[in-house]
Amino acid sequence: MSAQTGGGLATVTVYDSFLARKVAVEPQVPGQLSMYVCGPTVYNYFHIGNARPLVAFDVVARHLRARGYQVKFVRNITDVDDKIIQRAREVGEEPTAFAERWTAEYHRDYAALRCLPPDIEPRATQHIHEMHTQIEQLIARDMAYAVDGSVYFAVSHFAGYGELSKLPREELLEGARKELEPGKREPADFALWKATKPGEPAWDSPWGKGRPGWHIECSAMAEKYLGTTFDLHGGGIDLKFPHHENERAQAQGIHGCTSFAKYWIHNGFVGFRWVYGEKVLAQGSKISKSDERMRPLYQAFVARTCIERHGGEAVRLWLLTTHYRNPITFDIDVPPIGFALGNEPLDLDATACDGTDPTGSKSSGTLDESKLRLPGLEEAERRLEYAYLSMQRLADALAGQAPLTTADAGAVAPDADGWLERLYQALDDDFNTPVALAEWTAALAFVNRLLDGKLTPALAKDVRRRTLWRLQSDLLLAGKVLGICERSPAEYLAEHRVRRVTAKGLDQARIDELLTERAQARQQKDFTSSDLLRTALLDLGVEVMDTPQGMRWRVRD
């Protein structure tokens, strides 16, 4: 059994990025957990790397709830920002409406990844007043200063600056130099409020018209909804510096060094490998839209592309196969375009990012989506189909059987006992989803062995019945915490078939016709015709399974 807190709840350990070690989470209020995660800046479809924190922190919230904690989960939407303004201008749209449109697209893909909505999803533009209050408090404490309508945080006035990211001083300054603003006293100072520029959205403020800096948004919204101190703060590792360092400086600059997040959780990057057959053409540790050489490939990394090709749930399963802190490599398999034709794979981390390839030619060409393959997601989709087929078999086996009552108490097969608790314990241990998924996969394999009649000795009838019911309820609980296999098998498998029929270019009308003919032949007990029709369907790539519940079919791999 796992360790228990005083409140009787399981102890959950997390790797705290601030302490750089695993610690047992001790919530501020026993039994309750407050969590803030940095949300998206909405100006485009998000990519597979951006999908990772969405899925990772969704599992964190689901698991803490499954363990009995009352979770308050806040994740913001940044709906005013340089990139939003620039992109809106490029497409000739008003920035507010533009951000609204991309928020809706974000919500669509987010839901497709089977992520549950956070409890509160505050938008930056609706919290300008709270940001003003914090900026005024920082100025009053001599942590910030106003210059020509802008306000900057004075990094040298906050003693704890750099404690979270632990970067050497030169790198701290280097990060801040990217923010080129006039009037800063020191290069590392960063903007809390930006004086208005022509054509930009602007709000009135004590320092004149302008808009907020990115970092103050999160400090203000976290305080409003979670108070000056809360339990978990999450986000991608790329946010640790400067964004989280700055959030922390702002909040602690106002409320003191014990305020703000008690624990910091950061997910690792999604790297990529561009392969063509056996050959690796290029690789990198981080998907970056700003690297021009990657632009022709970029469509392959867009989450919407992945979701449309393999379903959001398969994308989710693929992400969860690696522990959230470890790097994960997204493989794309597509013929060479533009560059990367050398003998050695092009390492996009090591080579200069100036939009040119080593041979000097500008990267060009467009991605041929008909030739694109995403091997990791293909494998995840196969695993998911197997899981849903297993759940369907289990439901079929239990159809028409009376559910268990107290009179049915008694042992179940050992393989059906204890695995769910081990799955929860894996998640208690810094949300170890690969170990949790291994337990889940073993349980599914056991379902199939049992239903195939392959157990020796066979289970006694009452043990078998209890075992089947237990497996079904525990698999549904596992599905609920992982966000995998939560749907009815019929619903998922129907959606999956449509995707497979489209991907393989099969003729759905012809399949339906043959299936109807075969159902009629079986009804008339014409088994010769039925067998011939089965072969005809197999030739099309369709596998038919006869079950007591009727005929089912799937598209073969």
The CB density around residue 134, as the number of other CB atoms within 10 Å, is 23
How far apart are alpha carbons 544 and 370 in whole angstroms? 28
Tell me whether residue 248 or residue 465 sits nearer to Zn ion (CB atom). Answer: 248
Q: What string of DSSP letters covers 111-169?
A: HHTTPPPPSB--BGGG-HHHHHHHHHHHHHTTSEEEETTEEEE-GGG-TTTTTTT---H
3-state secondary structure 361-373: CECCCCCCHHHCE
Smallest gap from Cβ 122 to Zn ion, in A, equals: 11
**CA gyration radius, the chain:** 27
Helix (H, G, I), strand (E, B), or coil: what is residue 230?
strand
Q: Which two tokens stand for residue 296?
A: 């022709």
Closest approach of Zn ion to the CB of residue 233, in Å: 8
Closer CB to Zn ion, 214 or 440, in the complex: 214
Nearer to Zn ion by Cβ, of 218 and 270: the residue is 218
- Distance of closest approach, residue 128 Cβ to Zn ion, in angstroms: 16
Q: Is the peptide bond before 242 cis (omega within 30 degrees of 0)?
A: yes
What minimum distance in Å lies between the beta carbon of 87 and Zn ion? 20
Contact 239, 38 (CB under 8 A): yes
In residues, how long is the chain? 557
Burial of 66 (0-12, 13-18, 19+ CB in 10 A): middle
Q: How far is CA 431 from the centre of its chain?
A: 14
Tokens 């990198």 belong to 284
For residue 190, what are the contacts with CB-CB under 8 A and spacing of at least 6?
152, 153, 155, 176, 179, 213, 215, 242, 246
We find the least distance from the C-beta atom of residue 13 to Zn ion, in angstroms, to be: 24
Closest to Zn ion by CB, 253 or 483: 253
Sign (positive or negative) of CA dihedral 437, 442, 446, 452 = positive
The rounded distance, in Å, linking the Cα atoms of 530 and 422 is 46
Q: With respect to Zn ion, which residue has the nearer C-beta, 38 or 478?
A: 38
* Residue number with CB closer to Zn ion (249 or 427): 249
Closer CB to Zn ion, 88 or 222, in the complex? 222
CB of 120 to Zn ion, least distance (A): 14
Rounded least distance, CB 39 to Zn ion, Å: 8
Copy the structure tokens of residue 439. Answer: 């337990």
Which residue in 213, 364, 224, 390 sits closest to 294, CA to CA? 364
Counts of helices then strands in the chain (DSSP H, E): 17, 16
Distance separating alpha carbons of residues 450 and 416, to the nearest angstrom: 10
Q: Which is nearer to Zn ion, 225 or 388 (CB)?
A: 225
| 497, 459 Cβ separation under 8 angstroms | no
Q: Which is nearer to Zn ion, 218 or 367 (CB)?
A: 218
Q: Which is nearer to Zn ion, 132 or 383 (CB)?
A: 132
Token readout for 275 is: 């392969």
- Smallest gap from residue 114 Cβ to Zn ion (A): 24
Structure tokens at 229: 């101190």
CB-nearer residue toward Zn ion: 38 or 88: 38
Determine the Cα angle at 324 with ends 66 and 80, to 5°.
95
CA dist 104 and 541 (Å) reads: 37
**Closest distance to Zn ion from the beta carbon of 440 (Å):** 32
CB of 513 to Zn ion, least distance (A): 55
Q: How far apart are CA 224 and CA 159, in angstroms?
A: 25
Would you tell me which residues interact with Zn ion (CB under 5 A)? 38, 218
Cβ 243 to Zn ion shortest distance, Å: 5
Shortest Cβ distance from residue 551 to Zn ion (Å)? 52
Q: Judged by CB, which is closer to Zn ion: 124, or 387? A: 124
